Amino acid sequence: MADTGNNRIKRSEEITSQYFVFLDKHIDDLVQGRVTEMMELNEIASELCVSHKHLTDTIRQTMGAHPCHFYDQKIIEKAKQLLQETDASIAHIAMTLTYDPSNFSKFFKKYVRLTPDQWRKNNLPG
């Protein structure tokens, strides 16, 4: 008989891995224009064939924080990449990531402690 505790750990790791792979693909799809709306967590859970509660509990258990924390971090990572690697306006980057530009600046500053413009100026190559 299989060890159900071990299977539960493996399943948790599988769900966690699937969540992060899904986030990367979804954010890339947004940037590439293949989708135009940011998915809600319950929609992501549905895509992964788990309940919203199970996804939340699993990510909290395996990673120590709510799935939204990691979703926001992935958005910030992509925003930083776009700010550094493109000359797209901050408003364009915000809209690409489905944010109103003024809300995006507040969101970005909350996590990075700099506005997108300040971050870009501090992180230009050369």
CA 93 to chain centre: 15
Which tens digit of pLDDT belongs to each residue from 76-124? 999 999 999 999 999 999 999 999 999 999 999 999 999 999 999 999 8
CA 65 to chain centre: 13
Domain around 43: 4-122
Is pTM beyond 0.75 here? yes
Q: Letter for the amino acid at 79? A: A
* Domain count along the chain: 1
| C-beta of residue 123 within 8 angstroms of C-beta of residue 84 | yes
Can you give the CATH number for the domain in which 103 is found? 1.10.10.60
DSSP letter at 37 equals: S
**Per-residue tokens: 22:** 């899904």
18 membership: H or E segment, kind and range: helix 4-32
